[in-house]
Structures are given as C-alpha cells and as structure tokens.
Amino acid sequence: MLTTKINRVAARAAFYSIRAYSSLPLSVTINLPNGTSYEQPTGLFINNEFVIPKQKKTFEVLSPSTEEEITHVYEAREEDIDAAVDAAQTAFNSDWSHGEPAHRVAVLNKLADLIEANAETLAHIESLDNGKSLICSRGDVALSAQCIRSAAGWADKVDGSVVETGSSHFNYTRREPLGVCGQIIPWNFPLLMFAWKIAPALATGNTVVLKSAESTPLSALYMATLIKEAGIPAGVVNIVSGFGKIAGEAIATHQRIKKVAFTGSTATGRHIMKAAAESNLKKVTLELGGKSPNIVFNDADVSKAVQSLVLGIFYNTGEVCCAGSRIYVQEEVYDEVLAEFKKAAENIKIGNPFENDTFMGAQVSVAQMDKILKYVEIGKNQGATLVSGGERFGDKGYFIKPTIFGDVTDDMAIVKEEIFGPVVTISKFKTVDDAVTIANNSNYGLAAGVHTTDINKAISVSNRIRAGTIWVNTYNDFHQNVPFGGYGESGFGREMGAASLDNYTQVKAVRIALTKTN
C-alpha cells in the first residue's frame, strides 16, 4: 500500500515537472459524463480577465472517482497575489463600494440567475473535481444561488443609525466595507464555500481575492466566467488557484488585505490567525472543524431520526465540517436505532457519482482516503467494535464504505478527533443531563442534532449545548437566511443571513457638535 502510494506520488511529481512550464491554453474543453462538454478556464482571474501567472506554473487536477487527470490549471504565487490585490484595491476605490447599492443588488441577482441557468454544468464540474455524488452537487448549486440572492436582498439595506445624546450634538453611525478581503476556501464544498464567502463580502461593497483549494479549483474558475457575465465590475472578484503554503500564505500575510475569511482545518486556521496578527492585524473569521454530537432520545420518531443520522454522517461522504460524527442514543431505543441505522447505511448506494441514485461518491483525494482508513485501524486497535463498513469500496477511485463503530469510550481517538469521512461512532446514554454533558465534551462546537418529540426537551437541550447550530429532528439542513458558524475551536464569525454582514462591515461613528441658532 505504502509503496504504491510512493510510486504514485513520484509519478505525479515527474509529470508535474514536465508540464510545469509548458504553455497550457487559458481554456480547455472538458467532456462531461452526461455527453455534454464545456469550456473550462485554467488561468488566474484578475481584473475580470483570465491571465497566465508570472512564473507560468501549472498543477494537475484529478478526478477522485476515476483517479484520472482532468486538466491542469495555472498556479498563483506571491507576485500574482500582489497583482490580484492591486486590481481589488482599484475596484474598492471605485463606485462599486461607494456608489448606489442598487447596482450591487442587480448584479448579485444576475449572478444567482446565471448559477441557476448553468446549474447542471456546475453540478457536473463539482462531481468531477471533488468526487461527490450529483445529488450532493445539485444541492450545493441550489443553495449557492439562494445564498447569493439572499445577499443581494441585503445589499441596499446595510444601514447605520442615529444615536441620541441630547440636543448639543448630532451622532450617526455608518457601516462601511472593510476593503480588499482575502478568502481561502476548502475542497469539500468548493462551489458552496465560494458562494458563502463572496455573497456577504460583495453585498457590503468589499472586493475580494479568493483562493480555491488545490484539489478542487474548477468550479471557482467557471464561476469567474459567470461573474463577468453578470456585470460585476473588473477587480471586484479575483480568483486564484494555488497551494496553501504559497498563495494561501501570501493572502494571510498580505499587508494590504484587510480581512481574511477561512474555512478548513483547525491547524491551518490557527496558523492564519497568527499570520494575520503578525502582518497587519487584518480581521479574521474562521470556520473550522467539528466533532458534532447527534442525539436520539427515547421519545424520538425512530425512523425519522435514523434518516437524520444517515444524512448527518454520510452526506457528502462525511466530508462535512458539521458532520454528526458522534451518535448518542438513549438506552431504551439504542438497539432499535442501531439496527435500523446499520441497515440504512448498508443500503446506501456508493460509487459512480454521476449515476442519479448514487448517494455517496468518492473521497476527495488519496490522502484523505488514507487518513480515514488510518482512523479505522486506530478505532479497531483501541478496542471499538466495527459494526459496518471500515474498508475501501472497489479498487479504483477513492471510495470508502459507510462505517459505523460501536462500543466506544470517550477517550478514543475516533470519538475525539475529526475524521472528515464516512465514519461514525454510536453509544448509549441514560439521562438528559448525561446527553448534554457528553455532547459538550469536545473542544469543538460547530453543530449538534437533537431528536425528540418533546418540545420542552428540544428547546432546553438546544439551549444547553454549546454549538453554533442545533438541528432538531433534522440534520445538515442549511438555509440561506440562517447563520452558520462555530463555538470554541470550531472558529468564529457567521456565514449566511444578516449575521454574515457583520464580518464584512466596520462601524464608523460621526459626532457633530451643534451650535445654537436663533
């Protein structure tokens, strides 16, 4: 296994060096499995044009469901980030930020329309590049459009207020945009995270330099074409493909970037916060990992609860920051829930992401697949019982079977650490207080699920769990108007809804001394 991996890495490195300085066209035709084809941009998107980076380097983009190369794209380095920031700064100084907000309303609505008009292409790009099933990709596309449309609705309602301090003064506040914002997104929801990031930034009049994740750069570049078509002015959104340690680092440490919004691992989040502190104290918002509890009480509707458990951990192949990866079931219904959950997990259709009824596609990369399988071994070695799955599905593509571990204890790595794959632990609890205690026994605090038919229990337990989102009798159930973000080491700042605007505005107070007139 290890040798194969090393060989694969070596082969890729050799390939990379051959192609690195070749002249890749700025657009390539990609044939999709549904028989259509589309033009995939490969350049950096700066000032509304696709450009070749200064060093002309490219990197390979892989399809995780076939392990085959899709294309190469151009790679941004420090000097390219500077060029993107220049463009974004010029755009920030223009009417985009300081003119009529109605303009931002119009172009954001147009962008949402274009996403919907290109929904199938976008969904296919996402499944090709990330490996997720079309079911998941289609959901991502729909929510992306809704999120941008919702932000469009806010764009002309970002108001300040008048503050009363008596008749000697007149005071008012304004909510002003921050300037050039850096946005660094992950690979698990490439398009959706793109939408969640740009929507509030643009609604409030900021400009953006966004870096996609190195394993999933395609949908962001396709979105660039829609951004231009929507009439968003040059320089407002700049999109770069590239690596975290080079392009990401250049964004996090940039002196002229006023804010960085990041979604990804806790380790990288910590690093970005340090980089922000040590450079220009840019504002930071972080949406990091989780180890979210999904709790089933005795009085729950069992079959509905089981559906939520399945969605909670196996949706998007478990590559979800808020995945319900710790299941806790109250004693009386434990055996019934476990039996139904196991059956449901084993009935999941896994494989080719482009088949309409596939629920679970591939993990994003060989590295992610290996990491997940390593956790399966750790779970077994630490004495947990493998109830279902626990292995690769097929030998081509990075597929992993839905995996359930029973007989777990709180100190096990598989209960404490984020696995970011289709691996879940399930255990019993006795009382409501026990459920709240174990739910809160984590440094993370992104989400939690509560399954009960008792409204009092639902509300009181929701109030006591320390997490940014509580889903009652549902899970992974997002809405563009409902804020999402973390408590504790899951990060800070909120995305979607009115709360997301706060991260992209700063309050200016104007206090005017009045002179008495007769």
Going from the C-alpha of 280 to that of each of 236, 251, 255, 310, 507, the distances in angstroms are 22, 11, 5, 44, 19
Please report how close the Cβ of residue 413 comes to Mg ion at its closest, in angstroms: 28
Please report how close the Cβ of residue 444 comes to Mg ion at its closest, in angstroms: 27
Please report how close the Cβ of residue 75 comes to ligand NAI at its closest, in angstroms: 11
Placement of tokens 């710790």 in the chain = 326
Verify whether residue 287 is a known catalytic residue.
Answer: yes
Please report how close the Cβ of residue 243 comes to ligand NAI at its closest, in angstroms: 6
Residues 49 and 263: their CA atoms lie apart, in Å, by 26
Give me the DSSP letters along 163-195: E---TTEEEEEEEEE-SEEEEE--SSSHHHHHH
| Cβ 226 vs Cβ 83: under 8 Å | no
Please report how close the Cβ of residue 408 comes to ligand NAI at its closest, in angstroms: 19
Placement of tokens 């009417």 in the chain = 95
Question: Which residue lies nearer to ligand NAI by CB, 178 or 252?
Answer: 252
Please report how close the Cβ of residue 214 comes to Mg ion at its closest, in angstroms: 9
Question: Which residue lies nearer to ligand NAI by CB, 237 or 272?
Answer: 272
Cβ of 352: how many Cβ atoms within 10 Å? 18
Residues 341 and 294: their CA atoms lie apart, in Å, by 13
Question: Which residue lies nearer to ligand NAI by CB, 420 or 504?
Answer: 420
Question: Which residue lies nearer to ligand NAI by CB, 334 or 487?
Answer: 487
**Residue number with the shortest CB distance to Mg ion?**
129
Task: Extract the runs of DSSP E, i.e. beta strands, from 91-168.
Answer: 162-163
Task: Extract the runs of DSSP E, i.e. beta strands, from 193-325.
Answer: 207-211, 237-240, 259-263, 283-287, 293-296
Question: Which residue lies nearer to ligand NAI by CB, 234 or 378?
Answer: 378
Q: How far apart are the first and last CA of the chain?
A: 89
Query: Using CB distances below 5 to 8 A depending on partner kind, what does residue 129 bind out of Mg ion, ligand NAI, none?
Result: Mg ion
| Cβ 52 vs Cβ 26: under 8 Å | yes
Residues 6 and 2: their CA atoms lie apart, in Å, by 6
Query: Using CB distances below 5 to 8 A depending on partner kind, what does residue 213 bind out of ligand NAI, Mg ion, none?
Result: ligand NAI
* Token reading at 47: 């000032």
Using DSSP's 3-state secondary structure scheme, residue 137 falls into helix
Question: Which residue lies nearer to Mg ion by CB, 65 or 183?
Answer: 65
Query: Using CB distances below 5 to 8 A depending on partner kind, what does residue 418 bind out of Mg ion, ligand NAI, none?
Result: ligand NAI
Three-state secondary structure string covering 4-18: HHHHHHHHHHHHHHH
Query: Using CB distances below 5 to 8 A depending on partner kind, what does residue 452 bind out of Mg ion, ligand NAI, none?
Result: none
For the sheet containing 169-177, what is the strand order? Answer: 162-163, 169-177, 505-513
Question: Which residue lies nearer to ligand NAI by CB, 63 or 253?
Answer: 253
Residues between 150 and 169 that touch Mg ion (CB under 5 A): none
Q: Which of 287, 319, 489, 495 is catalytic?
A: 287
Residues 271 and 288: their CA atoms lie apart, in Å, by 12
Instruction: Give the CA angle between residues 500, 501, 502 to the nearest 5°.
Output: 90
129 is a site residue for Mg ion (CB under 5 A): yes
Placement of tokens 């919702």 in the chain = 150
Question: Which residue lies nearer to ligand NAI by CB, 114 or 496?
Answer: 496
Please report how close the Cβ of residue 260 comes to ligand NAI at its closest, in angstroms: 8
Long-range contacts, stretch 97-106, CB < 8 angstroms, 24+ apart: 97/177, 97/205, 97/206, 97/207, 98/205, 101/155, 101/156, 101/158, 101/205, 102/156, 104/152, 104/155, 104/156, 104/202, 104/203, 104/205, 105/152, 105/153, 105/155, 105/156, 106/152, 106/231
Give residue 491's identity as a one-letter amino acid code.
G
Q: For Mg ion, which stretch binds (CB under 5 A), given 11-19, 136-144, 209-217, 275-283? A: 209-217
Residues between 210 and 229 that touch Mg ion (CB under 5 A): 215-216
Question: Which residue lies nearer to ligand NAI by CB, 223 or 300?
Answer: 223
Placement of tokens 């969640």 in the chain = 196
The residues that touch ligand NAI, with contacts defined as CB under 6 A, are: 184-188, 211, 213-214, 243-245, 248-249, 252, 263-265, 268, 271-272, 288-289, 321, 368, 371, 418, 420
Query: Using CB distances below 5 to 8 A depending on partner kind, what does residue 268 bind out of ligand NAI, Mg ion, none?
Result: ligand NAI
Please report how close the Cβ of residue 250 comes to ligand NAI at its closest, in angstroms: 8
Please report how close the Cβ of residue 318 comes to ligand NAI at its closest, in angstroms: 10
Which residues does the annotation mark as catalytic?
287
Residue numbers of the site for Mg ion (CB under 5 A)?
62, 129, 215-216
